[in-house]
Structure 1
Amino acid sequence: MTASTMETGRRRFLLGLAAAATAAAVPSTAAATVEENPKLIALAAALPAIADTYHAAESAYMERWRYWRKATPLAPDAVAKRGTGCPRTTVQPGRTEMYVQGGYLYRQGEEFPYRIFKTAIEIRCEIQSVRWKKQRAKKAGAIADFLAAEEELVQLETDAADALAYEKTFKEVEAAAEEEMERLHRPKEAALYALHGQVAAIMAEEDRTMEGLIVKAEALAQWDRVGRPDNLIAAVEGDWHGSIAASILRHAKGGVI
């Protein structure tokens, strides 16, 4: 069961409890005179537009986030090889292949991320070493060693070019992704805090009738649409669902719903 499903279940339970409490409440003359908290109603009226602003910003952010994941270049075979286990638990040579905006890159059909075990600079060092080996073979008249070194140099030069092209492209894509995602993050973050503040304000207001309880339940429904990690900013709040349950019991015991 997902967190979203659990929250939806809790909300339905609370509304059902509220309905039961309403049916059980004894009608009175005072009930006809009670009006819902006008500030609560005003806050609720403004909530949909604030929520729409957040979801539009979040959607724009995620669309580009997915784009940059796909745009991440894959390391060439010259510098990368299949991983042998989970990067978090398995010691392996090199470093884990990553997306430009962070996170392990799992190639299609691969169980584990690839490992980048070599850089273009390291290949250039290998090239210099083979050149020296080639020179020594030439001086010694070792024809077989000389030819082997020449063949190795050709492959290393190709590998170095591939590695350098990959590293250059990765840095360019990484810089472009970072710039755009930071730009899109600012309005998304502002909209998130605005939505959180509005829901918090609604939950802090007094509910005087059944209408107020439904308003709060609908506010929580809006907040439930905010996924992780964004919704973690509400972790420091009180128990919003519990406060609705407490209001239902309060109204059922003696208040008016």
Structure 2
Amino acid sequence: MFDLQGRTALVTGAGSGIGRAIAVSLAGRGCNLALADVNEAGLAQTAQPLAKSVRVTCHRLDVTDREAVSALPAAVAAAHGGLDLLVNNAGVALAGTFAQVSEADFEWLIEVNFWGVVRMTRAFLPMLQAVPEARIVNLSSLYGLIAPPGQTAYAASKFAVRGFSQALAHELEGGTVGVTVVHPGGVATSIADSARATAALSIEELERGRRIANSLLTMPPAQAGDIIVRGVERRRRRILVGTDARIASLIERLMPVSYWGVLSRMKGERM
């Protein structure tokens, strides 16, 4: 077991959703926390109850800001003395098909979802390698296993996180830093409601898309957070969160070209 008691973890996107749930689950195991998010109010809400049991520091961070990411290791080292676990959870969503989404919006999503992971990993890898055992946890998605229509930017970013994590794990094999990639399915967060919308979508199209997306987001974040942390404790290289992620992974492996027809029919039956 990767014992979390007394260790220190950095969690990005900790101001809400899965990031907050991961932080709560880590604190419950006695893990000290450096919490990062662009949402300072959300960070404070996450940190306040946890600070009663473990050491917690809050760091306002935009993972697309190269200078801010580069400066964060020194701040974490000053506050905590070191780092044992990096959880790259921060992410955003974008509504619209490839034809509807602008190049600027596509690049924005990739900057957050993929380059944020790469920058944070590069910035903190030396600190992680300085302790006897450490771990990097990168949040991909169900859409890092399958690629549905209307998710070109999001799926591209999450498949990139998956590939980056797997290659990095192979490169670090035999060393002191392990790598975990996580594929959450439909977790009941605000990601659909907060997704950036392209101007090409009408209000009716946007609202319909959000209703459909939210109907598929059913797992409580606390449950997802605990599944992820338990997987980290067991040094799992891949964590599938939810029945939908497990089913999608299986069907994609069995039918790598035609899986979407099967999955879309299953989705239609549930709705």
TM normalised by structure 1 equals 0.23
Higher fraction of strand: 2
Which has the higher Rg, Structure 1 or Structure 2? 1
TM normalised by structure 2 equals 0.22
Higher fraction of helix: 1
